[in-house]
Amino acid sequence: MVKKLIAGNWKMNHQTADVETFARDWKSLIEKKALPSEAMLLICPPHPLLSFAKLSFQDLKIAVGAQDCSSEKSGAYTGDVAASLLKDVGASYVIVGHSERRQYHSESSHVVASKAYRALEMGLTPIICVGENLEQREQGQAFDVILQQLSESLTERAAGDKCVIAYEPIWAIGTGRTASLEDIESMHQFICDKIQNRFPVLYGGSVKPDNAKGILALESVGGVLVGGASLEASSFYQIASF
Ligand code: PGA
Protein backbone atom coordinates (compact mmCIF):
# COMPACT_ATOMS: atom_id res chain seq x y z
CA MET A 1 0.00 0.00 0.00
CA VAL A 2 1.21 3.49 -0.84
CA LYS A 3 2.00 5.60 2.22
CA LYS A 4 -0.49 8.33 3.08
CA LEU A 5 0.45 11.62 4.66
CA ILE A 6 -1.58 12.45 7.76
CA ALA A 7 -0.87 16.13 8.31
CA GLY A 8 -2.12 18.30 11.16
CA ASN A 9 -2.47 22.06 10.81
CA TRP A 10 -2.65 23.59 14.27
CA LYS A 11 -3.31 27.07 12.84
CA MET A 12 -3.07 29.80 15.54
CA ASN A 13 -3.62 27.39 18.42
CA HIS A 14 -1.59 25.80 21.20
CA GLN A 15 1.37 26.69 23.39
CA THR A 16 4.44 24.81 24.67
CA ALA A 17 2.44 22.98 27.37
CA ASP A 18 0.08 21.67 24.66
CA VAL A 19 3.02 20.23 22.71
CA GLU A 20 4.07 18.35 25.85
CA THR A 21 0.53 17.09 26.42
CA PHE A 22 0.18 16.01 22.80
CA ALA A 23 3.53 14.15 22.90
CA ARG A 24 2.70 12.42 26.19
CA ASP A 25 -0.78 11.36 25.05
CA TRP A 26 0.55 10.23 21.65
CA LYS A 27 3.21 8.09 23.31
CA SER A 28 0.68 6.28 25.47
CA LEU A 29 -1.64 5.72 22.48
CA ILE A 30 1.04 4.18 20.25
CA GLU A 31 2.36 2.09 23.14
CA LYS A 32 -1.11 0.52 23.41
CA LYS A 33 -1.49 0.07 19.64
CA ALA A 34 1.01 0.94 16.92
CA LEU A 35 -0.24 2.81 13.88
CA PRO A 36 -0.32 1.25 10.40
CA SER A 37 3.07 1.59 8.75
CA GLU A 38 1.33 3.28 5.77
CA ALA A 39 0.78 6.43 7.83
CA MET A 40 3.34 9.23 7.56
CA LEU A 41 2.74 11.78 10.27
CA LEU A 42 3.21 15.52 10.23
CA ILE A 43 2.23 18.33 12.59
CA CYS A 44 2.40 21.98 11.51
CA PRO A 45 2.39 24.13 14.67
CA PRO A 46 2.74 27.93 14.80
CA HIS A 47 6.29 29.09 13.99
CA PRO A 48 7.53 29.71 17.57
CA LEU A 49 6.67 26.11 18.52
CA LEU A 50 8.60 24.48 15.67
CA SER A 51 11.88 23.67 17.37
CA PHE A 52 10.18 22.57 20.58
CA ALA A 53 7.77 20.37 18.62
CA LYS A 54 10.64 18.92 16.62
CA LEU A 55 12.39 17.96 19.85
CA SER A 56 9.24 16.64 21.52
CA PHE A 57 8.08 14.57 18.53
CA GLN A 58 11.37 13.18 17.28
CA ASP A 59 11.05 9.81 19.03
CA LEU A 60 7.40 9.56 18.01
CA LYS A 61 8.07 9.55 14.27
CA ILE A 62 6.07 12.73 13.77
CA ALA A 63 7.68 15.22 11.39
CA VAL A 64 7.10 18.93 11.80
CA GLY A 65 6.21 21.54 9.24
CA ALA A 66 5.41 25.25 9.09
CA GLN A 67 2.15 26.92 8.09
CA ASP A 68 3.65 29.54 5.80
CA CYS A 69 6.99 31.00 4.69
CA SER A 70 8.29 34.09 2.99
CA SER A 71 8.95 34.10 -0.73
CA GLU A 72 12.10 36.13 -0.05
CA LYS A 73 15.41 34.60 0.91
CA SER A 74 16.26 36.98 3.78
CA GLY A 75 16.43 40.67 4.53
CA ALA A 76 14.27 43.58 5.65
CA TYR A 77 10.84 41.88 5.79
CA THR A 78 9.60 42.56 9.31
CA GLY A 79 7.48 39.75 10.72
CA ASP A 80 8.12 37.34 7.86
CA VAL A 81 9.94 34.03 8.29
CA ALA A 82 12.48 32.65 5.84
CA ALA A 83 12.15 29.11 4.53
CA SER A 84 15.83 28.57 5.35
CA LEU A 85 15.13 29.34 9.03
CA LEU A 86 12.16 26.97 9.08
CA LYS A 87 14.46 24.27 7.79
CA ASP A 88 17.09 25.23 10.36
CA VAL A 89 14.67 24.80 13.28
CA GLY A 90 13.51 21.39 12.12
CA ALA A 91 10.68 21.79 9.62
CA SER A 92 10.63 19.43 6.68
CA TYR A 93 7.37 20.67 5.11
CA VAL A 94 5.67 24.03 4.75
CA ILE A 95 2.02 24.72 3.91
CA VAL A 96 1.68 27.45 1.27
CA GLY A 97 -1.46 29.08 -0.07
CA HIS A 98 -3.81 27.89 2.64
CA SER A 99 -7.21 29.48 1.98
CA GLU A 100 -6.89 31.47 5.23
CA ARG A 101 -3.68 33.04 3.86
CA ARG A 102 -5.28 33.63 0.47
CA GLN A 103 -8.35 35.18 2.14
CA TYR A 104 -6.98 37.19 5.08
CA HIS A 105 -3.62 38.14 3.59
CA SER A 106 -4.71 38.51 -0.03
CA GLU A 107 -2.17 35.98 -1.25
CA SER A 108 -2.50 35.38 -4.95
CA SER A 109 -1.56 32.12 -6.62
CA HIS A 110 1.52 33.90 -8.00
CA VAL A 111 2.67 34.68 -4.46
CA VAL A 112 1.96 31.07 -3.52
CA ALA A 113 4.11 29.92 -6.45
CA SER A 114 7.05 32.01 -5.30
CA LYS A 115 6.71 30.70 -1.74
CA ALA A 116 6.68 27.13 -3.05
CA TYR A 117 9.73 27.91 -5.15
CA ARG A 118 11.62 29.28 -2.13
CA ALA A 119 10.59 26.33 0.03
CA LEU A 120 11.93 23.87 -2.54
CA GLU A 121 15.14 25.84 -2.90
CA MET A 122 15.69 25.55 0.86
CA GLY A 123 14.97 21.81 0.92
CA LEU A 124 11.43 21.95 2.31
CA THR A 125 8.49 20.12 0.73
CA PRO A 126 5.72 22.64 0.02
CA ILE A 127 2.13 21.58 0.62
CA ILE A 128 0.38 23.75 -1.95
CA CYS A 129 -3.28 24.33 -1.08
CA VAL A 130 -6.08 24.90 -3.56
CA GLY A 131 -9.83 25.08 -3.04
CA GLU A 132 -13.01 26.67 -4.36
CA ASN A 133 -15.54 28.63 -2.31
CA LEU A 134 -19.20 27.75 -1.93
CA GLU A 135 -20.42 30.16 -4.58
CA GLN A 136 -17.95 28.80 -7.10
CA ARG A 137 -18.99 25.23 -6.26
CA GLU A 138 -22.71 26.05 -6.57
CA GLN A 139 -22.18 27.78 -9.90
CA GLY A 140 -20.41 24.75 -11.29
CA GLN A 141 -17.03 26.50 -11.47
CA ALA A 142 -15.11 24.29 -9.02
CA PHE A 143 -13.01 22.49 -11.65
CA ASP A 144 -12.12 25.70 -13.51
CA VAL A 145 -11.14 27.44 -10.27
CA ILE A 146 -8.93 24.54 -9.20
CA LEU A 147 -7.31 24.30 -12.61
CA GLN A 148 -6.45 27.99 -12.56
CA GLN A 149 -5.13 27.89 -8.98
CA LEU A 150 -3.06 24.82 -9.80
CA SER A 151 -1.50 26.22 -12.93
CA GLU A 152 -0.67 29.54 -11.26
CA SER A 153 0.52 28.12 -7.92
CA LEU A 154 2.84 25.48 -9.34
CA THR A 155 6.01 27.00 -10.74
CA GLU A 156 8.04 25.13 -13.29
CA ARG A 157 10.53 24.26 -10.59
CA ALA A 158 7.75 22.99 -8.32
CA ALA A 159 6.28 21.03 -11.19
CA GLY A 160 9.52 19.13 -11.63
CA ASP A 161 10.32 18.72 -7.96
CA LYS A 162 8.97 17.19 -4.77
CA CYS A 163 5.63 18.74 -3.78
CA VAL A 164 2.37 17.89 -2.12
CA ILE A 165 -0.98 19.32 -3.24
CA ALA A 166 -3.84 19.78 -0.77
CA TYR A 167 -7.39 20.09 -2.09
CA GLU A 168 -9.40 21.94 0.54
CA PRO A 169 -12.85 23.18 -0.50
CA ILE A 170 -13.23 26.42 1.47
CA TRP A 171 -16.83 25.67 2.37
CA ALA A 172 -15.69 22.50 4.16
CA ILE A 173 -12.96 24.09 6.29
CA GLY A 174 -13.90 24.36 9.96
CA THR A 175 -17.59 24.03 9.11
CA GLY A 176 -18.18 20.38 9.95
CA ARG A 177 -19.37 19.99 6.35
CA THR A 178 -17.23 17.55 4.36
CA ALA A 179 -17.34 17.07 0.63
CA SER A 180 -19.02 13.80 -0.39
CA LEU A 181 -16.76 10.89 -1.25
CA GLU A 182 -17.93 11.22 -4.89
CA ASP A 183 -16.99 14.92 -4.99
CA ILE A 184 -13.62 14.22 -3.39
CA GLU A 185 -12.91 11.36 -5.77
CA SER A 186 -13.80 13.32 -8.90
CA MET A 187 -11.81 16.40 -7.89
CA HIS A 188 -8.81 14.31 -6.83
CA GLN A 189 -8.91 12.37 -10.10
CA PHE A 190 -9.03 15.67 -11.96
CA ILE A 191 -6.03 17.05 -10.03
CA CYS A 192 -4.04 13.80 -10.34
CA ASP A 193 -4.58 13.90 -14.12
CA LYS A 194 -3.50 17.52 -14.37
CA ILE A 195 -0.31 16.92 -12.40
CA GLN A 196 0.22 13.58 -14.13
CA ASN A 197 0.22 11.76 -10.80
CA ARG A 198 3.55 13.26 -9.84
CA PHE A 199 2.59 14.36 -6.32
CA PRO A 200 0.32 13.10 -3.57
CA VAL A 201 -2.97 15.01 -3.29
CA LEU A 202 -4.28 15.48 0.25
CA TYR A 203 -7.89 16.20 1.10
CA GLY A 204 -8.68 18.79 3.77
CA GLY A 205 -11.86 20.25 5.22
CA SER A 206 -13.55 18.94 8.39
CA VAL A 207 -11.67 15.63 8.37
CA LYS A 208 -12.64 13.88 11.61
CA PRO A 209 -12.19 10.39 13.11
CA ASP A 210 -15.63 9.35 11.81
CA ASN A 211 -15.08 10.27 8.15
CA ALA A 212 -11.32 9.79 7.73
CA LYS A 213 -11.44 6.07 6.96
CA GLY A 214 -13.74 6.50 3.96
CA ILE A 215 -11.73 9.44 2.60
CA LEU A 216 -8.37 7.70 3.05
CA ALA A 217 -9.70 4.56 1.34
CA LEU A 218 -9.97 6.49 -1.94
CA GLU A 219 -7.02 5.69 -4.14
CA SER A 220 -6.71 9.22 -5.47
CA VAL A 221 -6.39 10.59 -1.92
CA GLY A 222 -2.73 10.70 -0.88
CA GLY A 223 -3.49 11.74 2.69
CA VAL A 224 -5.37 14.33 4.69
CA LEU A 225 -4.75 17.83 5.99
CA VAL A 226 -6.50 18.11 9.33
CA GLY A 227 -7.23 21.30 11.25
CA GLY A 228 -9.44 21.10 14.35
CA ALA A 229 -9.14 17.33 14.82
CA SER A 230 -5.33 17.52 14.90
CA LEU A 231 -5.22 19.59 18.07
CA GLU A 232 -5.63 16.61 20.35
CA ALA A 233 -3.58 13.44 20.17
CA SER A 234 -6.60 11.13 20.54
CA SER A 235 -8.53 12.40 17.51
CA PHE A 236 -5.42 12.74 15.35
CA TYR A 237 -4.43 9.19 16.33
CA GLN A 238 -7.87 7.87 15.35
CA ILE A 239 -7.57 9.56 11.95
CA ALA A 240 -4.10 8.08 11.48
CA SER A 241 -5.35 4.56 12.33
CA PHE A 242 -7.18 4.25 9.02
P1 PGA B 1 -10.49 21.73 9.51
O2 PGA B 1 -9.30 22.56 8.80
O3 PGA B 1 -10.05 20.29 9.54
O4 PGA B 1 -10.62 22.33 10.88
O5 PGA B 1 -11.71 21.92 8.66
C6 PGA B 1 -8.61 22.04 7.70
C7 PGA B 1 -7.59 23.03 7.20
O8 PGA B 1 -7.88 24.24 7.18
O9 PGA B 1 -6.48 22.66 6.81
How high is the pLDDT of residue 1? Answer: 67
DSSP string, 26-78: HHHHHHHSPPPTTEEEEEE--GGGHHHHHHHHGGGTEEEEES---SSSSSS-T
pLDDT at residue number 5: 97
How far apart CA 233 and CA 235 sit, in angstroms, is: 6
Bridge partners of 181, per DSSP, are none
If you take atom 9 of ligand 1, which residue's CA is the nearest one? 227
Q: What is the mean pLDDT of residues 88-94?
A: 98
Average pLDDT, the chain: 95
Q: Using 50, 70 and 90 to split pLDDT, how confident is the model at 176?
A: confident
Closest protein CA for atom 3 of ligand 1: 227
Q: Who's near 64: CB < 8 A, 6+ residues apart?
A: 42, 43, 44, 45, 50, 53, 54, 57, 90, 91, 92, 93
Mean pLDDT throughout 194-221? 95
113-122, 129-138, 155-164, 204-213: segment of lowest average pLDDT: 155-164
Answering whether pTM is above 0.75, one says: yes
Q: Which residues contact 118 (CB under 8 A, 6 or more apart)?
A: 69, 70, 71, 72, 73, 83
Q: Is 98 a catalytic residue?
A: yes
Residue in 100, 107, 132, 168 annotated catalytic: 168
CA of 127 relative to ligand 1 center, distance in Å: 14
Q: Does the pLDDT value for residue 88 go beyond 70?
A: yes
